[in-house]
Amino acid sequence: MSTLAVEGFRAERTAILEVLGSLTPEEWNLPSACAGWAVRDVVGHLGCTLHGVVDPAFLPDFSSGTEEGMEPPVALRREWTIAEVVAEYETYSGQAADAFAMLQDEPMASSELPMGQLGTHPMSMLASTFLFDSYCHLRHDLLAPGGPLDRPEPPRDEQRLAPTVEWMLAGLPWMCADALETLERPVALVLDGPGGGAWTIAPGGPDGRVTVSEQVTADAAATVTSDPHAFVSWGTQRSPWRDHVTISGDAAIAARFLDAINII
């Protein structure tokens, strides 16, 4: 999967650079769908985090929380020219892609990387992590209909969506730990379409976190059905899950589960 994520990251990088190359000066300053950030801020965020992958000296300070740590480097880049913002993204996204490819080989691939409130994951997962970030910001924060940019959307294909979903489900037990503490019975998640599959999220995992297994178990109290692209939107609370999801089984348990999902 992570090798596929490297391919998906490269494809999404190409799509982002094509969009950036088409923007007018006015479009750079339009409000994005990411609250408080203009288009240039979203690109600055992508560039600064990938810069930190290549050179950890440039990693944002996440000691106060992941989302809180993103704001200072974005604010700093508001003083940059657009050309500087684009250059950072283009340079370090390319170098990060090469680093992600190297991290698919042992012994680095299975080495565990602590990532704060995002969890602890094998280093090979970094390609999926940053593909998710790229896919989410491009499709749901920059491009219409959610974002301000009227440009054709790149393909919603397996190489982009399967690793994106992989990261979201790998991070879910950590990022939603507190909200899912009261999950009393397993819930099945079925995502139909490219990059989709079926999983069961169940209580009783390590340190009180839920577990995610790649199957629908017979004891699931409810089944939640959506599609992978929509999951990126409602799974990050960019849109209401009720706009995208169908439920069979215990609707109350499913609703409490869905209300608790907030992937960052």
Same domain, 140 and 211: no
Pair 171, 235: CB distance under 8 Å:
no
Average pLDDT value for residue range 176-195: 95
Q: pLDDT tier at 262 (50, 70, 90 boundaries)? A: very high
| DSSP label of 140 | I
Query: For the whole model, what pTM was predicted?
Result: 0.94
CATH number at residue 45: 1.20.120.450
Average pLDDT value for residue range 35-50: 96
Q: What is the pLDDT of residue 63?
A: 67
Cα 213–chain centre separation = 19
What tokens were used for 161?
Answer: 């969506």
Q: What is the pLDDT of residue 207?
A: 83
* CA distance linking residue 183 with residue 37, whole number of Å: 34
Same domain, 33 and 116: yes
* Residue 58 pLDDT exceeds 90: no
Same domain, 133 and 63: yes
Same domain, 106 and 8: yes
Q: What is the pLDDT of residue 66?
A: 66
Q: What is the pLDDT of residue 64?
A: 65
Average pLDDT, rounded, for the chain: 94
Q: pLDDT tier at 204 (50, 70, 90 boundaries)? A: confident
| DSSP label of 104 | T
Percent of all residues in the chain with a pLDDT value above 90, rounded to a whole number: 88
* β-strand partners of 201: 187, 212
Domain count across the chain = 2
Same domain, 153 and 201: no
Long-range CB contacts for residues 84-92, cutoff 8 Å, separation at least 24 = 85/40, 85/43, 85/44, 85/47, 86/20, 86/43, 88/44, 88/47, 88/48, 88/51, 89/16, 89/17, 89/20, 89/43, 89/46, 89/47, 89/50, 90/17, 92/47, 92/50, 92/51, 92/53, 92/54
Q: What is the pLDDT of residue 154?
A: 97
168 part of a folded domain:
no
Same domain, 190 and 128: no
215 part of a folded domain:
yes
pLDDT, tens digit (0-9, with 9 covering 90-100), for 7-39: 999 999 999 999 999 999 999 999 999 999 999
For 11, residues 6+ apart whose C-beta sits below 8 A from its C-beta are: 154, 157, 159, 160
* Residue 69 pLDDT exceeds 90: no
Cβ count within 10 A of residue 240: 11
* Residue 60 pLDDT exceeds 80: no
171 part of a folded domain:
no
Q: Which of 124, 158, 192 is the last residue of a domain?
A: 158
pLDDT, tens digit (0-9, with 9 covering 90-100), for 104-158: 999 999 999 999 889 999 999 999 999 999 999 999 999 999 999 999 999 999 9
Nearest Cα to 143, choosing from 263, 10, 23?
Answer: 23
Same domain, 67 and 7: yes
Q: pLDDT tier at 182 (50, 70, 90 boundaries)? A: confident
Q: What is the pLDDT of residue 116?
A: 86
Sign (positive/negative) of CA torsion 237, 243, 246, 249? positive
Q: What is the pLDDT of residue 2?
A: 72
Same domain, 29 and 101: yes
For 58, residues 6+ apart whose C-beta sits below 8 A from its C-beta are: 48, 51, 52
Same domain, 108 and 24: yes
Give the range of the structural domain holding residue 60, as residue numbers without chain letter: 2-158
